[in-house]
Amino acid sequence: MPELPEAETLVRGLRPSVVGRAIDHAEVIHADVLRRPAEEFRAAVRGRAFRDVGRRGKNVILELDADGVIAVNLGMTGTLLPFSAPPTGGAAPTHPAVVFHLVSGGVLIFQDTRRFGTVEHLSSAAWAVRSAGMGPEPLDPAFTPEDLVSGMRRSRAPARSWLLDQRRIAGIGNIYANEALYLAGIHPQRPARSVTGPEGHRLHEALRDVLTRAIEAGGTTIRDYRNAEGEPGRFARRLRVYGRDGEPCDTCGREIRRIVFANRSAFACPGCQPRSRGRR
């Protein structure tokens, strides 16, 4: 958390606010979010203008003029907040890590409460190499159900773990992996290679469905996530299994269970997601 829908929501909110604006200087408040010395980072971005704002997986990509990008991984609690002027008082972010002071007088602030996120300047070529190491985008029309099934059939990992591996598919985190597996009727601990062709097609459809609906709702806020306007996402109320352990399943009424494996919680309905192959 944040995952693909939260990053995409940020991108759409940031684009009209920062594209075409130039960086006067970068103020580094917490250098531990950087991947290079603070002085090198400040020098690399000084005077550069934002050409575009995009997304790759869970990363917000701030494209710079001439060459290079600022790649922002949101970690657990990161977000990017634009302001037309430096905020003060109650409007000021409580945990700013990097502040981009813009030539126009406004600012773009990377806030990260727990500071698991990263802010990194890369050349365009270096970013292309990094991006190539990630899996396909699940909402890309070129990513087919057959691609998903083929990838899963080569893995012994649990289905939930496979979906979380950014080398296999980009942008999926624990929230949307659990939700998609529920919609597809696949237990999170089932081996990925046991997923049948029809199940894989349902999972492909479920991934696209839940991600699209989450983007439309502005993402999911469990605790800290805020969009570019500082507002929480609205998808939490639509979650079917994630965080709902002990509650009845909306479909069959059985109690949703929390399962811990690979050091992370998963959520499943024992009626709709049996451990053995096959739906219900």
> What are the residue numbers of the active site?
2-3, 58, 264
| Burial (CB count <10 Å: 0-12, 13-18, 19+), residue 100 | buried
Burial zone of 150 (CB within 10 Å; 0-12 exposed, 13-18 middle, 19+ buried): exposed
List C-alpha distances in Å: 181 to 54, 121, 278.
Answer: 27, 35, 13
Q: Which residues contact 81 (CB under 8 A, 6 or more apart)?
A: 93, 108, 109, 111, 226, 228, 230
Please list the helix, strand and coil fractions of the chain in percent, rounded to the nearest 5, in that order.
Answer: 30, 25, 45
Locate 107 and state its tokens: 């600012």
Q: How many residues does the chain have?
A: 280
Residue 62 CB burial class (10 angstroms; 0-12, 13-18, ≥19): buried
Using CA atoms, how far apart are residues 35 and 161, in angstroms rounded to an integer? 27
274's CB contacts (< 8 A; 6+ apart) are 187, 280
Q: Residue 163 CB: number of other CB atoms within 10 A?
A: 28
